[in-house]
A and B are shown apart, each in its own frame.
Chain A
Amino acid sequence: MPILPDALDEARRIIAAGAEQKLTLRLLGGLAIKMHSPSANHRALVRSYPDLDFAFAGKAGYKIEALLPPLGYEANQAFNLFNGAHRLLFYDTGNERQIDVFVGSFHMCHDLPITERIALDPLTLPLAELLLTKLQIVQLNEKDIRDICALLLDHPFGESDDETINLKRVTEVCAGDWGLWKTVNVSLVKVQEFCDAYDLDVPSKLTIIERINVLRLALGDVPKTVRWKVRAAVGEKLQWYDLPEEVKRG
C-alpha cells in the first residue's frame, strides 16, 4: 500500500503497521494535537504539517528502521547511523514529508519522560505529554504557539487523561526539573502574549488565558524535589536548556 497523501491517515497507517509487529508508536507534535483538537482547524490556528513525529517506546530502533522502508519511506542513512540510538529520520519524497522518530526518549530543549505512559492513547501521546513537548521549546515559533493555543482551547486541565490535560502529570514532571519548569513558565507567558493577536473570539482567548493561569498556579504550588531546589539555587546563571540544531535534508 502506498503512502497516503493525508498526513493523519498516514500516521494511523504507520501506527497500525507498528502494532502488527508489536511496536508501540505514538504520534506527537502538531499533527497529534490536530487529532485531538478541532480548534486546530480554526482559521486562526490552522498550520501546515510537513513532519510526522513519532515516539517509540522501545530501545530497539532497528525495528523501526526495518518497519518504515517497506511502507515507502527512505531512511536518512547518515543521520540514522550517528543518531539512531535516540532518533531516526525518514523521508516521504512524494509528499515532501519527513518522519521523525524519538527512540526510547525525548531530548530536545529538555528531557521529557514521554514513553512512560505511551500506551494511554491509541494514536498519540497523552495530552499532558503533548503539551509538555510544546512548552519545553525555548525558541517557540508561530506553529508551536498555534498548537498550544489549540490544545488549551479544546481541553481543560483535570485529573485524568481522557480528552483532559492531566494537570498532576504536567506539574509532577516539571517539579523534578527546574530547567523544564522555568522554560514551561516562560513559554506560557509567551503564549498568553501572542494568543491575543490571533483572530479568535474573546471567549476563546479568555479560555486559553484562564487555562494558562491554572497551569501557572499549579506549577507554583506543586511541591518541588530536592534536585529542583538545588538547580533553582543556581538559577539562570547556568544555561538551563539545550538548543536543538536544524538537520539539513539530504
Chain B
Amino acid sequence: MSTSTLFLRKATGLVRSWSVFDAFIYAFFSINLVTLGFYIISQMWFLNGAIIPMLILSAVFILAEVVVYAGLIAVMPRAGGDYVWQSRILGGGIGFVLAVTGWWFILWLWTPLYADMLRHIFFVPLLGILGQQSAALWFAWQPNAWMLVCVLMSVFVTIVIAMGMKTYATVQKFCFWVGNAGLLICCLFLLFGNNQAFQAGLEANATKLFGAAPGVYAATMAAGQAAGGVTPLMGVDIAAIFLGMPYLVFFNLWPNWGATLYGEVKGADDFRRNFTGMAWALIATTVLAVIFFLLVAKTIGWDFLTNANAAYWSYRWDTTGKVAAPPLDIWPYPALLAMFLTTNPILQFIVVLAMSMWFFGWAGTIFLSSTRVIFAAAFDRLLPEAVATIEPRTRTPIWALALMVIPGLIVSALYVYNVPIGGTGFASLTLASTLVIAVTYLGSTIAAILLPYTKKDLYEASPIAKYKIAGIPLISVMGTIFGLFLMFLLYEWIIDPNGLYGISYKNTASVYFMGAMYLLAVVIYVVAKLVRKSQGVDLNLVYKEIPVE
C-alpha cells in the first residue's frame, strides 16, 4: 500500500518573484536607519524627547501597524495594497482619493528629500575623501547641485524599477549585505575608538577634506549650543518623548511600505509570514539604531552630534541671514564622522561607499510601491488603461513612472529653490510627506477595523479569522491601537500647539500643497466616474469585486 499522498494542485501555478526575505529587506530598507533615520533624527536637535526611548516606544505602536497590514495583506494579497483594501471595504471614492494622495502625489515631495539624503551620504563625503573639496561643497550647498542629484536619482530609480522585480530583489540583497558590512565597520571604529581620538580625527579630516577652520570640535559645540541643540539620547520625560514621535515617524512609520507589492511575494496569504517579515525589519532597525547611537555617544559624544546637527540645520533653515555657517561645513553624517577615526582615505572611501548602499538599495522604494497603486487604479478603470502598460522591450512601466518622475521633478524644483507659496517657503513642507501618507494609513486602518464586520464572509474565510483577543478580532484591536496613534500624530502635525513640526494649518504653503493634492485626486475620481459612465461602465460594480491576481 502506498505511503505517499498526491496533491490536488489544479493549475501549473506560479512562483512569485519575491521571497519572504526579499520582502523583509524591502521593509528593512523602507525604515532605513542610514538614510531616513540619520537624516530625520539630525533635524530633531531642538526637541526635548530622548531618542532611544522614543525609538522603542514608537516601534511598539508601529508593531500594531505591522499586525494591521500583515492581516490586510493575508486577506487580500493584491498589487495595489491600500487602494484595493480601502476601495473594497470603505468605498471607491475614499479608497482612490486616500491611496493616490498617499501613494502617488505625495511621493513627488519625497523626490527632493531622497535626493538630499543622496547628496549628503554619497556625493559630498566621497568627493571630499577623493580630495575634491570644491565639488563636495558645491554638492553640499548649491541648489543647482541638489536639483542635479534629483535628476540623477530619478534616472537611477527608473532603471532599477525597469529591471523588474527579480533583478530589483538581487540589487536590494547586494546593497543589504554590503551596506550592513559598512555599518559593522563603522560600529567597530566607534567601539574601539574614543572621544580624544575622534576629536583629533575630526580636526585632521574636516580641515583637510572640507576646509573647516582649526578648532572645529569646540566651534561646533559652541555653535550648536547657541542654536539650542538639546535632544538627549536617554531620558524619561514621557511628554517630551511623545512630542518627538511626530518627527521621528518620518523614519520608522514605513515597515509596511511593501504592502502594495505583496501580490508579487511568495505566500502572501500567510499572516504570520507577512508579520514576521515586517516586524523583524522594525525590530532589527530599532535595535541597530539603539546600538549605533550608543556607540556614537561613547566615542563621538551625543552632545557633539546634537550640536553639529543644530549648527547645520539652524543655518540651513535660517531665513533671516543672521545664523553663521556651521564650523563643520557639511551635514554631520554619522558614518563619515565615525570614519574620521582614521585618516586612511582608501579605508574611508570604501566604507563610505559601502554605506551608500543603504541609499541605493532603498532608492527604488520612492516609486516602486506607487507604481502598483497606479496599476491597480488603472485596472479598475479609474485611470486610462494605458497607465497600466509597459514599454514592451524593456518592460518599463513608462506611464506609471512618468506620472511619478515628471511631477516629482517639478516639485523638486519648488522645494530645492524654496519657491514661496502664500508667503511660506516650499522647503518647510518636509513632514507633509509623512502626514499625507499617515492619512492614507488611517484609511487602511479603519478598513482593517471594520473588515471583520462589514466583509464578514471574506474575513471568516481568511487565515486571520482565528486570531482574536478576548473574542475581538486581532486586526480590529490592533487597528484601534494604531488608529489612535495615527490620530495623535495627525493632531500634532495639523494643530501643532507647541509649534514643533512646521506643517500646521498656519503654514499656508502646507495647506495649499496638501489641499491641491486632495482636490486633484477628487477631480480625477469624479472625471473618471463620468467618463466611464458615458462608456457604459459602472465603477460601483467594479468595487464589489476583489481584483484578480
Q: A: which residues have CB within 8 A of B?
A: 29, 51, 53, 60, 62, 65-66, 76-79, 81-87, 98, 100, 107-109, 137, 139-142, 145, 189-190, 193-194, 196-197, 242-250
Contact B6 A78 (CB under 8 A): no
5 closest A-B pairs by beta carbon, nearest first, are: A244-B13, A62-B392, A139-B7, A250-B548, A193-B2
Chain B residues with Cβ below 8 Å from A60 are 393
| CB of B84, distance to nearest CB on chain A (Å) | 12
Whether B390 pairs with A81 at a CB distance below 8 angstroms is yes
Set A65, A245, A250: member contacting B266, Cβ < 8 A = A245
Measured CA separation A86–B165 after assembly (Å): 11
Q: Do the beta carbons of A246 and B390 come within 8 Å of each other? A: no
B165 CB contacts on chain A under 8 angstroms? 82
Q: Is the CB of A100 within 8 A of B17?
A: no
- Among B14, B392, B395, contact of A245 (Cβ-Cβ < 8 Å): B14
- Of A83, A245, A248, most buried by chain B (CB within 10 Å of CB) is A245
Residue in B9, B164, B264 with the greatest tally of chain A CB atoms within 10 Å: B9
Q: Once the chains bind, are A244 and B2 in contact (CB under 8 Å)?
A: no
Q: Is B11 an interface residue (CB 8 A)?
A: yes
Interface positions, chain B 9-27, Cβ under 8 Å from A, are: 9-17
User: Bound state CA distance, A145 and B9, in angstroms?
Assistant: 12
Check A84/B547 contact, CB under 8 A, given A189-B4, A245-B16.
no
How many Å lie between the Cα of A20 and that of B483 in the bound state?
Answer: 59
21 contacts between A and B (CB under 8 A): A51-B12, A53-B12, A62-B395, A66-B392, A81-B389, A82-B17, A82-B264, A85-B166, A87-B14, A108-B12, A108-B13, A108-B15, A140-B7, A141-B7, A142-B6, A243-B15, A243-B266, A246-B9, A246-B10, A246-B14, A250-B548
The residue in chain A whose Cβ has the minimal distance to the Cβ of B269 is A245
With contacts A78-B79, A100-B12 taken as known, whether A248 is within 8 angstroms of B549 at the C-beta atoms is yes
Whether B13 lies near A77 (C-beta < 8 A) is no
Contact of B2 with A194 in the complex, beta carbons under 8 Å: yes
Partner of B548 from the list A190, A246, A249 (CB cut-off 8 Å) is A249
Q: Count chain B residues whose beta carbon lies closer than 8 angstroms to a beta carbon of A.
A: 35
- State A168–B172 Cα separation when bound (angstroms): 38
B183 interface contact, C-beta 8 A? no
Cβ of A96 to closest chain B Cβ, rounded Å = 13
Is B141 interfacial (CB-CB < 8 Å)? no
Tell me which residues across on chain B come within 8 A of A53, comparing CB atoms: 12
- Of B6, B15, B389, B395, the most chain A CB neighbours within 10 A belong to B15
- Chain A: which residue is nearest B395 at the CB level? A85
Interface residues of B in 264-281 (CB under 8 A from A): 264, 266-267
Q: Give every chain A residue within 8 A of B221 (Cβ-Cβ).
A: none
Bound together, the chains give a CA A198 to CA B3 distance in angstroms of 16
* Whole-angstrom CA separation of A250 from B379 in the bound complex: 12
Which A residue's beta carbon lies closest to that of B11? A246
B8 CB-CB contact with A under 8 Å:
yes
Looking at the assembled complex, report how far the CB atom of B231 sits from the nearest CB atom of chain A, in whole angstroms.
44
Kindly list chain A residues whose C-beta atoms are within 8 Å of the C-beta of B9: 137, 139, 141, 246
Inter-chain contact B395/A194, CB cutoff 8 Å: no
Question: CB-nearest residue of chain B relative to A62?
Answer: B392
Q: Which residues of B contact A81 (CB under 8 A)?
A: 375, 388-390, 397
Contact indicator A140/B6 (Cβ below 8 Å): yes
B263-A82 in contact (CB<8A): yes
What per-residue 1/0 map shows which CB atoms of B69-93 lie under 8 Å from chain A? 0000000000100000000000000
Tell me, rounded to whole Å, the shortest Cβ–Cβ distance linking B164 to chain A: 5
Q: Does the CB pair A197–B549 fall under 8 Å?
A: no
> From A111, which residue of chain B is reached at the shortest CB distance?
B15
B434 CB, nearest partner CB in chain A, Å: 28
User: Please, which residues of chain B bring their CB within 8 A of the CB of A139?
Assistant: 7, 9
Task: Given A141-B6, A193-B3, A194-B4, verify A247-B392 contact (CB < 8 Å).
Answer: no
When distances are taken between beta carbons in the complex, the residues of chain A under 8 Å from B4 are: 189-190, 193-194
Give the distance to chain B from A33, nearest Cβ to Cβ, in Å.
Answer: 14
Shortest CB–CB separation between residue B166 and chain A, in angstroms? 7
Contact B12 A78 (CB under 8 A): no
A244 to B52, CA, bound (A): 43
User: Which of chain A's residues have a CB closer than 8 A to the CB of B16?
Assistant: 245
Report which of B3, B15, B388 forms a contact with A77, defined as CB distance below 8 A: B388
Report Cα–Cα, A190/B15, bound state, in Å. Answer: 23
Closest chain-A Cβ to B154's Cβ sits at a distance in Å of 22
How far is the CB of A178 from the nearest CB of chain B, in Å?
Answer: 18
Quote the shortest CB–CB distance from B347 to chain A (angstroms). Answer: 32
Q: Kindly list chain B residues whose C-beta atoms are within 8 Å of the C-beta of A98.
A: 11
Residue numbers in A under 8 Å from B379 (CB-CB): 77-78
Flag if B13 contacts A247 (CB, 8 Å). Answer: yes
Q: Out of B2, B14, B267, B389, name the residue touching A197 (CB < 8 Å).
A: B2
Evaluate contact between A107 and B2: CB separation under 8 angstroms.
no
Known: A78-B549, A139-B7. A247 touches B14 (CB 8 A): yes
Chain B residue at smallest Cβ distance from A29 = B12
Q: Give A123 Cβ to nearest chain B Cβ, in Å.
A: 19
B residues near A76, Cβ cutoff 8 Å: 548
Return the chain A residue nearest B3 by Cβ: A193
CB closest chain-A residue, reference B548: A250
Q: Say whether, besides A62-B393, A78-B548, A140-B7, A245 and B267 are in contact (CB < 8 Å).
A: yes
* Across-interface contacts of A242 in B (CB, < 8 A): 15, 266
- Distance of A250 Cα from B548 Cα, bound (Å): 5
Closest to B375 in A: A81
Determine the residue in chain A with the shortest Cβ distance to B547.
Answer: A78
Please judge, given known A-B contacts A78-B549, A194-B2, A247-B14, whether A141 and B392 are in contact too, CB under 8 Å: no
